[in-house]
């Protein structure tokens, strides 16, 4: 992944974090800064895995497919975050 692709996926992850939080059911208990960071990291991971599978690449990140890949990565990361750090009970 090139530096340009990393920056593009990071910028898209900023928005993807908030979209993922709106989509994910229930209360996550995640503050806005953590939401943005999880969105950025999830977007980068989703973009990398998407490019390996041929689903998304850096040139098409600001397309609907790119947004879907970024939000998907953020959703998966938020789900894992909630499993690891969510309130029990």
Number of domains in the chain: 1
Confidence (pTM): 0.79
Q: Are 18 and 35 in contact (CB under 8 A)?
A: yes
- pLDDT value for 88: 61
Q: Torsion angle of alpha carbons 16, 10, 39, 83, nearest 10°? A: 140
- Left if phi > 0, otherwise alpha if psi is -120 to 50, otherwise beta: which for 63? beta
Q: Are 47 and 69 in contact (CB under 8 A)?
A: yes
For residue 54, being part of any structural domain is answered with: yes
Containing structural domain, residue 66: 3-84
- pLDDT value for 42: 87
Total residues belonging to the chain:
89
- pLDDT value for 55: 72
Instruction: Quote the CA–CA distance of 60 and 24 in Å, as a whole number.
Output: 25
- pLDDT string in tens for the chain (89-residue length): 678 777 877 888 888 888 888 888 777 677 888 888 888 888 888 878 887 887 766 554 567 787 888 888 889 998 888 888 876 64
For residue 32, being part of any structural domain is answered with: yes
For residue 89, being part of any structural domain is answered with: no
For residue 43, being part of any structural domain is answered with: yes
């Amino acid at each position: 992944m090139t530096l340009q692709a990393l920056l593009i996926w990071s910028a898209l992850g900023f928005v993807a974090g908030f979209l993922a939080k709106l989509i994910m059911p229930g209360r996550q208990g995640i503050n806005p800064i953590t939401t943005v960071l999880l969105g950025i990291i999830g977007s980068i991971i989703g973009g990398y895995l998407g490019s390996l599978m041929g689903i998304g690449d850096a040139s098409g990140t600001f397309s609907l497919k790119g947004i879907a890949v970024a939000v998907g990565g953020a959703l998966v990361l938020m789900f894992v975050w909630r499993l690891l750090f969510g309130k029990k009970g």
